[in-house]
Amino acid sequence: MSSHQIEVRIDSDPANLAAVRKAVESFAANTGALDEPCCGNVGLCLNEILANVIRHAYNNRTDKPIHVRAEVADDLLTVEIRDWGNGIDPTTVPQAPYDPLTPGGVGLICIRELMDEVTYHPQSDGMLTRMTKRRPKSQ
C-alpha cells in the first residue's frame, strides 16, 4: 500500500484559498490518484469548506489558523481540514430551502454530491472535517 501526503497551514484569509486549492488539486493529480475532473471537484469542495470555516467558524476573522492535510493511499484521496473555530457541525444546523434567486446555500449540497464521503468531527477546541474521494472505476 503506497501513501503520499501534503500539509498546508494558512491563516483564515480568503486570499489564501486559491493557493491551497491549487496545491491540493496538483497533489491529487501528481500522485495519479484522480483524473483532472475529479481533482477539480475536490478543489471546489475544499474551497467551499474553507470559505465556510472562515465565514461561520471564524466569523470572517482573517488571522485564525487552518490546517489542511491531504493523503493518497492506493485509490483513495482523503482531505482533512482542521480549524479552531466554534466547533458547530454544519449538518446539525437547519438549512433554509434552496432558493435559486438568493445567493449562497449550495456549498454543502455541492460537497455532498461531489465527494464520496464528508464527515464532521467536533473537537474540544474546533472542528475536524474529513472528505474522501475514491478513484472512479473507469480510470
- How does pLDDT run across 9-44, given as a tens digit for each residue? 999 999 999 999 999 999 999 998 889 999 999 999
Cell of 57: 467558524
Decide if pLDDT at 62 tops 60.
yes
pLDDT score recorded for residue 1: 46
116 in Cβ contact with 132 (< 8 Å): yes
d(CA 105, CA 95): 8
CATH number belonging to domain 3-134: 3.30.565.10
pLDDT digits (tens, 9 = 90+) for 81-120: 999 999 988 888 776 666 666 656 667 778 888 999 999 9
The domain limits of the chain are 3-134
For the chain, the farthest-separated pair of C-alpha atoms sits apart, in whole angstroms, at 47
Residue 138's CB is within 10 A of a number of other CB atoms, namely 5
